[in-house]
Amino acid sequence: MLAAAVKNINIPIIRRGMSTLYHVCDKIEQRIIWIDCEMTGLNVEKQTLCEIAVIVTDSELNTIATGPDIVIHQPKEVLDNMEEWPRKTFLENGLMEKIIDSKYSMTKAEDEVIEFLKLHALPGSKLYTLSLKQ
């Protein structure tokens, strides 16, 4: 059963004589999932997601996998209601144009991120969050 799980998530296998060792420092339960989100503002009741990127590291912060980095299309009425800081920043760094041109819906982005996470995280794992104010 472990061998099948390891094969599905591409953990390196080390063979020594009759023994098979699995790369122990990359235990799936010790992985850290980093999710970076760009929003139209900080108020989650009124604002929405417009970009999401995912990276998986081991407990030593070595990158295990780089996941999707998706810019999500938002309609004009959503962009018109953006807070000032993201509007100014996204216009300057080109993200606004990418949001307008994106073919990704929120649902499509969510599905892609979830499929990626299924490969790299155990269901029901503990969640820790860190929120940085702009």
* Full set of structural domains in the chain with CATH: 31-120 (3.30.420.10)
* Tens-digit pLDDT profile for residues 45-80: 889 999 999 999 988 899 999 999 999 999 999 999
Alpha-carbon separation of residue 118 from 19, 49, 53, 85, 123 (angstroms): 28, 21, 15, 34, 8
For 39, residues 6+ apart whose C-beta sits below 8 A from its C-beta are 47, 48, 49, 50, 86
Q: Residue 81 has what pLDDT?
A: 93
Q: Tell me what the mean pLDDT of segment 11-22 comes to.
A: 44
Given pLDDT bands bounded at 50, 70 and 90, which one contains residue 110? very high
**pTM of this structure:** 0.72
Q: State the pLDDT at residue 89.
A: 97
C-alpha angle 116/132/123, rounded to 5°? 30
pLDDT band, residue 23 (cuts 50/70/90): very low
The C-alpha atoms of residue 55 and residue 22 are separated, in whole angstroms, by 22
Q: Which two tokens stand for residue 107?
A: 């649902």
* Cα distance between residue 129 and residue 21, in whole Å: 33
Per residue in 86-99, pLDDT (tens digit) is 999 999 999 999 99
